[in-house]
Amino acid sequence: MAAAAEPEQIEKFLDGLKYDDKGLVVAIAQDVDTGAILMQGFADRTAVRSTITKRQATFFSRSRQAQWTKGETSGNFISVKSIHLDCDKDSLIYLGVPDGPTCHTGAHTCYYSQVDGDDGAAAVEGGGKHGQEEALTTLYELEETIQKRRTEAVKEGDKPSWTRKLLDNPELLCKKIREEAGELCETLENDEGKERAASEMADVLYHSMVLLNLQGVGMEDVLAKLRGRFGTSGVEEKANRPPKSKQAHRTG
């Protein structure tokens, strides 16, 4: 976050927005760590100003014709880290950290229904179950697949999936992670090219995520840690340099 903008700069920015015939722009709240689209609403000039100055995602309700700050009833506010504007200036992204589930239904995001799910388009009529039909990007789809492999029963006589084998055998899993990290390094050491590097990184990521599942850790937790380290530019060096005590431990 850069230095706070001056009031006159904010008003100038608000002047530049392309409001629709009701005086609104679209406002999309997005999770800064996971990239999940949490909810979409509309914002009038006052709601955008409030979001800029108070750093909490604020909207204008078309049905209630009133401004509202997400979380004012549920307690789950969205802390806004940065605000982004699209090319024709009628749509904003509030990029931030939600205090808890965003949807009033208790779902993580409002987009928990999928069109064309297993039961066809009509499935959406009954709503979706959170975590099953939510809009998940590749990383979180993989995370969910690993979780499914963990909980699903393996029928007698059926071969367990590779993921399940790793989940059931921490020794094999750790052996694989060390191996894959080595193979990733070899792509650089032996100049094996982009394709191999991407592929080995995919191996490292997948196997590490199986370990994280066993530890009950989500990629969201990992990304929040990285944000803590890199969020403020400049402090990166310190946070990532191995601490003295640890170096001592290693060499000691």
**What's the closest the beta carbon of residue 68 comes to a copy of itself, in angstroms?**
14
Q: Is the dihedral of CA 175, 178, 182, 183 positive or negative?
A: positive
Find which of a copy of itself, Zn ion, none residue 85 binds, CB within 5 to 8 Å per kind.
a copy of itself
Q: At what angle do helices 138-151 and 219-230 cross, to 10 degrees?
A: 140
Helix (H) or strand (E) holding 26: strand 25-31
Is residue 99 near Zn ion by the rule CB under 5 A? Answer: no
Based on the shown chain and the rule CB under 5 A, indicate whether residue 87 belongs to the binding site for Zn ion.
yes
How would DSSP label each residue in 198-215?
HHHHHHHHHHHHHHHHHH
Q: From the list a copy of itself, Zn ion, none, which binds 150 (C-beta under 5 to 8 Å, kind-based)?
A: none
Between residues 7 and 18, which has the closer beta carbon with respect to Zn ion? 18
Nearer to Zn ion, 1 or 87 (CB): 87
Which of these, 158, 204, 163, lies nearest to 184 by C-alpha position?
204
Residues in Cβ contact with 121 at an 8 Å cutoff, skipping those fewer than 6 apart: 115
What count of other Cβ atoms lies within 10 Å of the Cβ of residue 248? 10
Q: Which is nearer to a copy of itself, 99 or 203 (CB)?
A: 203
Residue 43 interacts with which of Zn ion, a copy of itself, none, CB < 5 to 8 Å by class: none
Helix (H, G, I), strand (E, B) or coil at 238: helix
Q: Which of 25, 32, 78, 110 binds Zn ion (CB under 5 A)?
A: 110
108 binds, among a copy of itself, Zn ion, none (CB under 5 to 8 A by kind): Zn ion
Contacts with Zn ion by CB under 5 A lie at 31, 34, 86-88, 90-91, 103, 108, 110, 180, 183, 200, 203
